[in-house]
């Protein structure tokens, strides 16, 4: 793992940033292992970065990437515009 720059330079800030990076890498590797699709790890990370603001089921997307995002079933996530 390479960390190019740190936002904070105190000892505590550097430790927190290193731990955060390690946890993020651990979660990404877990998604990589759980996926049924034969992902290349850098491609998985790049596509997750592209899809981060699109609401969709993560497990469905990991296994069927060609499918467009479906309708939002959760009423709390829908927006009700009042005119």
Supply the DSSP string of 1-43, one letter for each residue.
------S--SHHHHHHHHHHHHHHHHHHHHHHHH-SS---HHH
pTM: 0.65
In 3D space, the residue among 20, 16, 17, 48 whose CA is nearest the CA of residue 32 turns out to be 48
For 21-62, write each residue's pLDDT tens digit: 999 999 999 988 888 878 888 888 888 888 788 777 788 778
**pLDDT bucket at 79, cuts 50 / 70 / 90:** low
Residues in the chain: 83
Q: What is the pLDDT of residues 5-30, one digit of tens each?
A: 888 889 999 999 999 999 999 999 99
Is-contact 6 13, C-beta < 8 A?
yes
């Amino acid at each position: 793992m390479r960390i190019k720059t740190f936002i904070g330079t105190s000892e505590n800030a550097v430790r927190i940033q290193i731990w955060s990076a390690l946890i993020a890498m651990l979660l990404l590797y877990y998604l990589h292992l759980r996926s049924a699709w034969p992902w290349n790890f850098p491609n998985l990370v790049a596509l997750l970065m592209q899809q981060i603001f699109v609401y969709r089921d993560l497990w469905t997307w990991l296994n069927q990437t060609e499918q467009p995002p479906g309708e939002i079933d959760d009423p709390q996530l829908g927006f009700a515009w009042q005119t």
